[in-house]
Amino acid sequence: MPNGSLDAWLFDTRETRSVLDWERRIGVLRGIVAGLVYLHEEWEQVVVHRDVKASNVLLDGEMNARLGDFGLARLHEHGKDMCTTRVVGTLGYIAPELSRTGKATTGTDVYVFWEMLLEVACGRRPIEPSEAAGNLVSLDWVRECWMRGGFSRRRILH
């Protein structure tokens, strides 16, 4: 894809790209949602991606988002439960219930989309190993910011 991955746009400091403005970020998120709706509801079978993350979102020449890397994806018939034999994915992009049930569903893909929404909005990966223990997980960081009185524009958009 001509514009590479969303991950590169958000985190690659070596690139001389401009920062994604809010309009483009929202457009990318809409593209991801459209892709998930197609995979989960509109295609002839249900596709559970199981590895939705910024590096697997590719951007075309017009900055439209496309989901890529279907190596972990699983197919099943609409209206039937999917059997999962093992938990796979990327640390930070795994729904909590997946570790309990071992069952990937369209809901686990949707949970990961919400993690990505925070990633796109805040410019933070779901897990930041370089951060202090209290700021390690982005969900905890967001909760802490909220409890302290909300977010400033500068804090959210890097």
Residue 81 appears among annotated catalytic residues: no
Three-class HEC string of the chain? CCCCEHHHHHHCCCCCCCCCCHHHHHHHHHHHHHHHHHHHHHCCCEEECCCCCHHHEEECCCCCEEECCCCCCEEECCCCCCCCCCCCCCCCCCCHHHHHHCCCCHHHHHHHHHHHHHHHHHCCCCECCCCCHHHCEHHHHHHHHHHCCCCCHHHHCC
| Candidate list 7, 12, 21, 51, residue with the active-site label | 51
Q: Which residues form the catalytic set?
A: 51
